Amino acid sequence: YTRLMGWADKFRKLQVRANAETPSDAAQAYKFGAEGIGLVRTEHMFFDEQKIKAVREMILAKTQTQRQKAVDKMHMMQREDFIQVFEAMQGQPVTIRLIDPPLHEFLESPRALDVEIAKLEATGGDKALIAEKRMLMEQIDGMSESNPMLGLRGCRLGIVYPILPVMQVRAIATACAELKKEGLDPKPEVMIP
């Protein structure tokens, strides 16, 4: 098999790339022979329970200062993830799609919040907490999209929150710069959704 594939490699024009969102996915892809990453969906990098909190903070921020603080947290997470993905790919090209999230994937469910509020009210729960949950539900309801695929996705999210693509490009660039200093040769390819 190895000899046959070696002969084929002399003539082939195609490359085999993998999709990966985590450093461990990238390492596994490289181990299996991927010649790069064809798509890193950066929104998937934030689905970890600790990371999703920063995204929620950014989306629900009421002031520019709050939003900047959340984006700074997101930058640190992205930079570290990109460093690890580039290291795992050992100089192979990595196509990174800037964040393209359907907002409902990052926010709490309004129905679940409604149930939580009803339970708090039924048990005589903390009035301040109930008021806070109601405000959150109203804010989420105000962002609801009849078709999430046509809402704040793709480049539209970057237009509404220009701080996001700037943060992501900075995270990619600083990750590459750090690895270049270490003698590595990361090859990022940026895709704008």
Give tens-digit pLDDT for 13-71: 898 999 999 999 999 999 999 999 999 999 999 988 889 889 888 888 889 999 999 99
Q: How far is CA 130 from CA 111, 113, 117, 119, in A?
A: 15, 10, 6, 10
pTM, two decimals, is 0.81
Measured in degrees and rounded to the nearest 5, phi and psi for residue 18 equal: -115, 160
Give tens-digit pLDDT for 84-127: 999 999 999 999 999 887 766 777 777 787 888 888 889 988 88
77 contacts 54 by C-beta, under 8 angstroms: yes
| Cβ neighbour number for residue 112 with a 10 Å cutoff | 10
Judged on CB neighbours under 10 Å (0-12, 13-18, 19+), 171 is buried
